[in-house]
Structure 1
Amino acid sequence: MEDSTWITIISLACTFLFMMGTPVLLVIFYWVVGCSFVIELTLDNTGGELLNVFKDGFALLAMPLFILTGDLINKSGIAKRLSDFAYSCLGWIRGGLAMAAIGACGLFAAISGSNSATTATIGSMLHPEMVKGGYDERFSAATAAAGGTVGIIIPPSIIFIVYGFLMNLPISDLFIAGIVPGALMVLAMMATCFVVCSINGWGIIIALSFKRVLKTAVGAWLGFFAIGLVLWGIYTGKFSPTEAAGVTVGFGIIVALASYPLNKIMGTTEDTPIEERSITSMFVVEGFTLKDIPSVVVRSAQISGILAPLIAVSVVMQQILSLLGAQEVIGGFVTGMGGYYPVLFTAMAIVFVAGMVLESLPVTIILAPILAPIAASVGVDPIHFSVIFLVGASIGFITPPYGLNLYVASGVTGVPYFRLLRYSTMYLVALISVWFLVALVPDLALFLVPNR
């Protein structure tokens, strides 16, 4: 048989495996190995390429460190304090608790850099509270899923690190470019919360108490400090994203270990109502002990152990696609659309469709090296296109049939996947509106970036 026939058979077989639930890493690996034999690319070459990905990958070291940061922030109780602050500020508005969940997702994302971690953390904390507060359980779970989409846009972002590594772009510039679009995504989803909850009359409204706001703001100061530390260090150039990740890991460990004994001395717990806590006790989070650190590190290592091999094998996949001429085919199709906006909107459509069936990491690794040069050839700024590309990839987290965040939210809340789709669609409309706004107004992504 001809090579093209073999490659078609291998591709169909791998597609079948994916549909049967085989992990994406194994699907891509099987495709890479099978196609390597067909085009007579030695396995020595494959092994060498896998090694080269990480040999000089200092920038990629930020990925496991930011994943660890998110787990430390959650375990220490800082994430809970951030959500308390968001609720105290928004609880007086119809749908305030749902809006607070979205706001808490934005704050947690500004430390963790992960969409799934954001959804799992905020969903597990606030979904029970929302159901108790009179919200529909489907809407509550969909809110956690949608809020998690900002996890890869608001800096620091794990996927921005991967994109910058692949496209040789300054990761610090990518982080800064994601600030305003991420904030717009949060505001759009909050507006959706308000409209949906006002129509349905959901949510218990609490009185706006400046004392409560003050207490929760004091309680969340460590989270604010961590966010400010990362953004200040990267924006001023005091340290690289990788160094920023290391700093926040150290910060999280020190704060947690110091807080635990102090919290015990004060005699308060996270279950103590905020109104009954003293201002002094609000300065100290729950924390944890030295014996808890291994379990946190192991959990983070498990996630990193999934992502890192996927990056490596996908880079080899790019090489094979290039040898097969896939880049020329897709590039010719997109370029054939014409000028600036036809090319840009076609690229966005491709990212959207790919996000329906793939997670953001393989979408980025496979399509970014193909679409980014084409977009640059028609005048799209590379930093601007990175934000457009990744906002589109983030929307894929709540786009069926894949919708990773929908699966995560379903898992942590117990609400069946298909019951989330009705309310996730409302958030999907809001996010797509922001996506097109960011695409049409480049300054939303670029005006904070130095020398742009």
Structure 2
Amino acid sequence: MDFSDGTWVTLVSLLATVFFMLGVPVFLVIATWVVGCSFVLGMTLDNIGAALSDVFTDGFALLAMPLFILTGDLINRSGIARRLSDFAYACLGWLRGGLAMASIGACGLFAAISGSNSATTATIGSMLHPEMVKNGYDPRFSAATASAGGTVGIIIPPSIIFIVYGFLMNLSISELFMAGILPGALMVIGMQFVCWIVCRMNRWGHLIPLHLDRVLKTAFGAWLGFFAIGLVLWGIYTGKFSPTEAAGVTVGFCVIVGLVCLPLSRFLGLGRGEESIRETRYRDMLVVEGFKLTEVPGITMRSAQITGILAPLIAISVVMQQILSLLGAQEVIGAFVTGMGGYYAVLFTAMAIVFISGMILESLPVTIILAPILAPIAQSVGVDPIHFAVIFLVGASIGFITPPYGLNLYVASGVTGVPYFKLLKYTTPYLIALIGVWILVSLVPDLALMLVPNQG
């Protein structure tokens, strides 16, 4: 039987689809499709090897990715994340739903150092979910709050996915970082507002008085976290550091904090004890957590494992883009999107494609597959490339709480023990808030471009 190239590509695509539905890792699914289509189209395996080599030898910007992943693990182990959450609760605990709102705020602060959605959800969820349940919140709502709060992890800089997007589209990663600040802050505020409404309706949470001394002392206790955030943003915004250099500096800072604070706290005789997060720990404003030198290899290995999952996927995506170009995918999708009409029709069609894709894929493959196709089309109708990058990635971040995929829902379920499907009802208000912010950012370019040098 004589099969045409189109038939073989269809069969390879069906095989990759079956693998995906069976739960085969995304990298293996894409690699299967890339290798199969390469043979069909007469591309040699040498081309794949050359593409992988070029990514890892020429992609200096990608070096920031493993460093920021490592930063997230280090700040969690050093106790900085706990301090940031204490400060957020001291500021918001006087409001109905204050602890839940504080968990969303803590997600924003943690994201400003870690750059990862799932890491943000796992860290804040594991710390604050027990406290929220103890303070009268529905366990399902508590877990849903952690999963929704984690969506800002890839928007508030530094962002791992912004690094990937900038690498793929040849955009300034520093400018992308600055463009994500205001949209990320709006996402946090929007979710906190919804959280306040839901908690008022259900009368969830215990209130604590707002005391200036409590706020100031928890702020002092979290000064290392604020310093790390400020160090990254100052270095990138002023041009003192590239994103890669900023990541290296932040890792060095977190290592010093983690190694020095533990022996220092033992020397001073300080300890965390068993106090609830509702109690302000005035007596130990120095960071009392930390880690030993012997623990650093284990922390580094965990970060390396995550990097080992992401980096090959990015590399194989380069070949995937070549194949899609040969197959004319960009022209087909481009014709469909541009056929919608002018600026807003194209923009909202692209957003719909990103949203639907985010329902079934994680943000990384969505970015790898769609960004090279949709970004040039959006630019052709006048959408600023930096603005579109923010629109694209805010939409991709919403996919983290959108079933049936919703990676953050799985992460929150894993760290809290609440079944996946019981989270869906309580994530809906957050989903509505995030979509509202997404539309606002798409309609008001200054929200993304205001802080970008030479753009705002």
After TM superposition, the score normalised by the length of structure 2 is 0.97
Question: Identity across aligned pairs (percent)?
Answer: 78
Residue 187 of structure 1: aligned partner: 189
Compute the displacement of 1:272 (Å): 5.2
What is the SS of the residue equivalent to 1:12? helix
Unaligned ranges ≥5, structure 1: none
Aligned counterpart in structure 2 of residue 296 of structure 1, from 295, 299, 312:
299
Q: Given the alignment, which residue of 202, 205, 214 partners 2:204?
A: 202
Deviations 1:230-258 (A, max 9, x none): 00000000010000000000000001111
The equivalent of 1:213 in structure 2 is 215
CA distance in 1, matches of 2:62, 2:423: 34
Q: Could you tell me how far apart the structure 2 residues matched to 1:314 and 1:270 are?
A: 46
Matched letter for residue 3 of structure 1: D
Following the alignment from structure 2 to structure 1, what is the Cα–Cα distance between the partners of residues 366 and 442? 19
Which amino acid is the alignment partner of residue 233 of structure 1? G
Q: Indicate conservation of the 8 Å contact 1:148/1:405, yes or no.
A: yes
What residue in structure 2 maps to residue 322 of structure 1?
A: 325
Aligned with 2:38 (options 15, 36, 39): 36
Q: Is the 8 A contact 1:127 1:140 kept in 2?
A: yes
Write the distance in 2 (CA, Å) between the matches of 1:214 and 1:361: 39
SS at match of 2:383: coil
CA distance in 2, matches of 1:230, 1:364: 24
Aligned residues: 451
1:276 Cα offset (Å): 7.3
CA drift of 1:394 comes to 0.4
Q: Distance in 2 between matches of 1:87 and 1:295?
A: 31
8 Å Cα contact 1:88-1:213 kept in structure 2: yes
CA contact (8 A) 2:270 2:288 kept: no
Contact 1:256 1:285 in 2 (8 A): no
Q: Does 1:405 align with 2:395?
A: no
For 2:232 and 2:274, how far apart are their aligned partners in 1?
31
- CA deviations 1:257-302 (Å, max 9, x no partner) are 11111111222223354867445x3133411110110111011001
- Residue in structure 2 matching 1:22, options 12, 16, 24: 24
2:350 corresponds in structure 1 to 347
Question: Partner letter of residue 126 of structure 1?
Answer: L
Task: Report the counterpart of residue 134 of structure 1 in structure 2.
Answer: 136
Name the structure 1 match of 2:87. 85
**More displaced stretch, 324-333 vs 285-294:** 285-294
CA contact (8 A) 1:78 1:285 kept: no
* Matching residue's letter, 1:219: G
Kept in 2, the 8 Å contact 1:173–1:449? The answer is yes
Equivalent residue for 1:168?
Answer: 170
- Choose which of 106, 109, 112 in structure 1 pairs with 2:108: 106
The aligned amino acid for 1:325 is G
What letter is aligned with 2:344?
A: Y
Partner letter of residue 328 of structure 1? E
Mapped partners of 2:123, 2:103: distance in 1: 10
- Residues 214 and 280, structure 2, Cα contact 8 Å, conserved in 1: no
Q: Give the residue type in structure 1 aligned to 2:398.
A: I
CA RMSD of aligned residues (A): 1.1
Match of 1:393 in 2: 396
What SS class does the counterpart of residue 357 from structure 1 fall into?
coil
Aligned partner of residue 297 in structure 2, secondary structure: helix
Q: Does 1:286 align with 2:289?
A: yes
AA aligned to 1:112 is S
Structure 2 SS opposite 1:121: helix
* Partner of residue 270, structure 1: 272
1:449 aligns with 2:452: yes
What amino acid does structure 1 have at the position aligned with 2:316?
V
